[in-house]
Structure 1
């Protein structure tokens, strides 16, 4: 392998590495190559501007090809000469004495199925005859996919009953193309509690042209129906599909007998809180659909299980322990092995750090392919015998290692990035900080940013950047030379970011804190974390704490002032989903449940707006297409009715996330400077 590395501010180096030994050498001698280029009139070629994939190394490693001026140059690595390659001639060839190629013929589908109005039509392609299948019901209609069994004796399609149409209307006050305001419609923006479209599979026998009834007892109330999950077994004996029950507390993998229509559950996930289908669902069929790998948090941690498709019984856990599977990298059914990104597999490290492992389908032979203290990103060699492992932390510049892909054994450390120039300029890396959460046992992880001119003898107000969306975890884990939070620190603040309970990638119990409880936003953990920080560092001034965030973070930021005014004093909330009944259906019903209950009202910033204390800046884009901008305006209405003071900026033509624009970022900075530092910002 060969790669390019920045060796100094204005110089790159190209290295060649032998996989087996890890030995590294220059890909070329820069001085001699530069001189040779000049001799053939290619002095203007800038080597540093070439990328590694523009070089092509010969099999014996003795010559190197690379492009220049619509030509190909050849560099001799022995004598360091350079020549211009001759154009390749097109080679004409003819296959002689070739043997005929045999293809396995697939039986041609004699049928065609389609929708005609609300009716399902079956057409015999050969006889050109049409048949009407199913009943004519004006409230429902048949839809694809129209899946024929492999032997073309059965047909599965979907019956659709339309739900409530919910469009959101917004006004763009200052469109670029006209003077007058423009009405914009966000179509089918369903919200929690709306009547949704119901889709259910239907089965037909093509010989009799009759429907085979299927009991929907096991899929009575679907939230949605993903067409891609519908598939036939190769022997046409059954078809399978996945069922996500509305409310997201039941998720099933179902099998339907093609002859009888009998339905059984291969996988049945039922939980008292939520099954996170959006981020933690994984299914992999193998062995001709006789077995499957399935992801579940049934043990209290996110893991994989091997399941017998004929009985639904768990053959074995593929992974297990007090750590979590984060994502699937690759499967190999022939070897019965799976490669995974995981978190928490090294108990002594930050549980959010990504590591890669390999394990057998039967749960044996687990191999940790990475090990360094940091978050890892792995690249495989083309033959998958070696890996490049690049890892870092917020306080450690990246390291790149060459490892054996079978054992994970370290072959060599290829590069260790050098951040000394940054440090000489006064740059400070964020500090990792850990404190106990509300239960007194669970570690809560966060980062701390200080200004470059930090003075240990001074007190600094605190700003928290918050996003407590349950779909992920958000504290930075990898090295960055620049982070926006550091920009805020330079104004004279200590800036923090924390992942409290209710966010993802930890135990199921840690995650479940968000269930019907988005107003919590992990604040009991965040406040304890900040108090622990102040106890360790007297420079932290907890009498002046500000907070900001966007979207779910906007809901969280305002919620801090409404629910914890004794701790948080200043908030900037951008495009917040301030009432979960006003936001998109899938995200909010997943965490807040269905039917819509009193929990939605309890979590609402609109309902609780009268409790406002402290300084508040609300920002929103007038044509936000992600979170209905009316959600912010309803907060404004409630604040006015409660006679509360606040600031607000509505951005004409602004969409979701206007808080990240340069103007709004500056206004947010000004707001914190004014109300936490007590200084009037310099006028622009």
Structure 2
């Protein structure tokens, strides 16, 4: 019987005898020898759980007629099988290597694997230099715009004030060849950030690296929009504001069947207004076809727009009614109608079929009782009718389509349920066949490891469900109380708790040392309602802590072996900022933290991310929430380890050094680890080792292995990095 099974057996026997094993629970504080054994056990678990899952995905190679496909399966014994599938029936049969080779050659000969060439005009011309009627060729010289008639060489000079520093460009022809439209550009050179590489081989001096880096409040390149009528041979300034955000000139789209009007999209800096603006080429006047405003923010990177070819329609996303949904806009009348509606979230648009007037999209939260972060696939008509769910099973779905889109392969799982892969018919989602059910390796099953547990508790409002996962030691003793570690990443740009199957992770590896390790998506993160997301607005320092703290306390109510008096947290990038903020602003709950490469002061980090959530202009609220001010550094009561890579190109390394400076000036003690040559990371193997040692010392009160004395061998694969960082 495995150790964890023995513990559970003893637990239930005690209950049967009327003895509460939870009475008089003692905090888990291992001896040095015990913790060394746990490090050794965690390393063994890391090894036993590698390559644990088989038959978890299907990579289909379709025949040219799309009547069949084949795929390889890596098997637990190290061999590979090849499976042939008839698409219409789902009938499977094994293939040998000779058959696979013949199919691969046939597919290449048929051109199935060829790449489509990308047709692009010159950088300064969108759609090409030559007019649609093939009579004129536009060109730029010394920053000015010209057009040459191809029949006789007659040249029209539209501008004379352009320069190499402030040129005209991004030019586009009207469909009737009577106009050109484009911009005069006023470029901005971004200021530099610097770092020093201190340990470059074959050098004796630090190597300075400098690069452009836009921070909040920095200016953008600006664009003035102009019309260039061929018959007037001049430039006409369009009656609209200078475009000062974002960094590229907006695309110009001429109205279908009408060479007089075109539109462009404009986001105002500060992310609180989005417009689709129409220009009248005859007059230079404008009107807003779409004009959306928000008192908080409009998420720039998720503002989806699509203009179906051959129409004067726009499909776009908006959260104006509290949830991210699809809308259909008539670009002539400006009338906007909802396509999707309800208390659920459109996640992504996969495809728009203009001919059938249908949209293929993903969404979360439509199915009552299911994790709202699970992604499902749907199809709907432009008019909002004929909503069809293509992936009905509960779980997080990932889909790949056949070349024509007639079929798709659907793999779904949950964080603790193995993947299943099915072949489905695209028109209605009907299941054709189960292709594979994933299996676990023998070594994984013998290791005693288990996937994380899903846990749900109410957030700060007592109403909203907060979702997270829990990993506990494989040999945990329910009569003891274990400290908690939170793997935190509260960046508002997404949600982060994994939803697909996780057999093993760094969280579980840490848990084996004697911790309860959790990960939570609190308020202020994305993929829920607008109000859920809005918590982050000018309020990054909140990081969902009221939800996280309440969630951990609810976990302890269910599981008395969870010790809420010993809670630590760790994170990288935004998670690093969250970690330090927790120790400064929530010291009553969080007692220790390891923060790597954090964006601790939102004025120092990249512009696009911070102005999106903290707003523009840069105000006093930026400083008030900074971890790098002496006033906030004075609030540190817990234990802190800062890790920084000296070659971080995502968050300038000085962000970490400014926190260190503020803590020193505030008279606070802390640990600081700078890793030569490391980029934006959690610290790599050495940083992960230091993280473990830090929490073992401060939350388990044990002395970790003496690495210098060789008490345990250094493990370069420790904790295997699982998360990506913004």
TM-score using structure 2 length: 0.80
Equivalent pair of 2:132/2:173 in contact (CA under 8 Å): no
CA RMSD of aligned residues (A): 2.4
Deviations 1:591-644 (A, max 9, x none): 000111121112111121111111101111223211111111111111111000
By relative contact order (CA 8 Å, sep 6+), the higher-ranking structure is 2
1:595 and 1:559 map into 2 onto residues whose CA distance is 23
Displacement of 1:230 = 2.2
1:215 and 1:383 map into 2 onto residues whose CA distance is 45
Equivalent pair of 2:488/2:578 in contact (CA under 8 Å): yes
1:483 and 1:221 map into 2 onto residues whose CA distance is 46
1:412 and 1:647 map into 2 onto residues whose CA distance is 56
Question: Is 1:242 paired with 2:288?
Answer: no
Deviations 1:327-379 (A, max 9, x none): 11111111111111111111211000010001111111000001112100112
Deviations 1:386-435 (A, max 9, x none): 32211011110101122232222233323221237323321111000000
Within-5 A mapping of 1:216-615: 216=240, 219-220=241-242, 222-224=244-246, 226-227=248-249, 229-233=251-255, 235-278=258-301, 280-286=302-308, 288-314=310-336, 316-419=337-440, 421=442, 422-607=444-629, 608-615=632-639
Match of 1:116 in 2: 142
Question: Is 1:5 paired with 2:31?
Answer: no
Displacement of 1:582 = 0.7
* Distance 1:109-1:656 versus aligned 2 partners, 3 A rule: farther
Match of 1:662 in 2: 685
Match of 1:445, SS state, is strand
* Distance 1:53-1:565 versus aligned 2 partners, 3 A rule: farther
Match of 2:712 in 1: none
Match of 2:665 in 1: 641
* Distance 1:181-1:128 versus aligned 2 partners, 3 A rule: farther
Q: Any stretches of 5+ residues in structure 2 without a counterpart?
A: 1-68, 109-130, 708-726
2:78 and 2:628 map into 1 onto residues whose CA distance is 54
1:612 and 1:274 map into 2 onto residues whose CA distance is 31
Out of 177, 200, 204, the residue aligned to residue 179 of structure 1 is 204
Displacement of 1:143 = 3.4
Number of corresponding residues: 613
Out of 41, 48, 56, the residue aligned to residue 103 of structure 2 is 56
Deviations 1:1-59 (A, max 9, x none): 333334543344433333333343x324xxxx7xxxxxxxxxxxxx5xx9x964629xx
Match of 2:717 in 1: none
Displacement of 1:287 = 5.0
Equivalent pair of 1:222/1:244 in contact (CA under 8 Å): no
Match of 1:223, SS state, is coil
Equivalent pair of 1:674/1:680 in contact (CA under 8 Å): yes
Deviations 1:542-563 (A, max 9, x none): 1111111111111000001001
1:151 and 1:135 map into 2 onto residues whose CA distance is 25
Equivalent pair of 1:139/1:161 in contact (CA under 8 Å): no
Equivalent pair of 1:139/1:162 in contact (CA under 8 Å): no
Match of 1:224, SS state, is coil
Match of 1:95 in 2: none
Displacement of 1:176 = 3.0
Equivalent pair of 1:438/1:524 in contact (CA under 8 Å): yes
Match of 1:222, SS state, is coil
1:122 and 1:299 map into 2 onto residues whose CA distance is 47
Match of 1:667, SS state, is helix
Equivalent pair of 1:112/1:122 in contact (CA under 8 Å): yes
1:496 and 1:425 map into 2 onto residues whose CA distance is 21
Equivalent pair of 2:132/2:176 in contact (CA under 8 Å): no
Equivalent pair of 1:112/1:125 in contact (CA under 8 Å): no
1:181 and 1:193 map into 2 onto residues whose CA distance is 31
Q: Any stretches of 5+ residues in structure 1 without a counterpart?
A: 34-46, 58-63, 68-104
Match of 1:529, SS state, is helix
Question: Is 1:17 paired with 2:85?
Answer: yes
Match of 1:27 in 2: 94
* Distance 1:179-1:123 versus aligned 2 partners, 3 A rule: farther
Question: Is 1:107 paired with 2:129?
Answer: no
Equivalent pair of 1:463/1:546 in contact (CA under 8 Å): yes
Out of 693, 701, 704, the residue aligned to residue 681 of structure 1 is 704
Equivalent pair of 1:115/1:142 in contact (CA under 8 Å): no
2:237 and 2:76 map into 1 onto residues whose CA distance is 72
Moved more, 262-271 or 160-169: 160-169
Moved more, 523-532 or 164-173: 164-173
1:451 and 1:54 map into 2 onto residues whose CA distance is 47
Match of 2:640 in 1: 616
Match of 1:146 in 2: 171
Deviations 1:220-267 (A, max 9, x none): 563125446223335422222110101010111111111111111122
TM-score using structure 1 length: 0.85
Q: Which structure carries more strand by proportion? A: 1
1:502 and 1:312 map into 2 onto residues whose CA distance is 32
Displacement of 1:508 = 0.5
1:209 and 1:322 map into 2 onto residues whose CA distance is 54
* Distance 1:185-1:420 versus aligned 2 partners, 3 A rule: closer
Out of 187, 204, 208, the residue aligned to residue 162 of structure 1 is 187
Match of 1:471, SS state, is coil
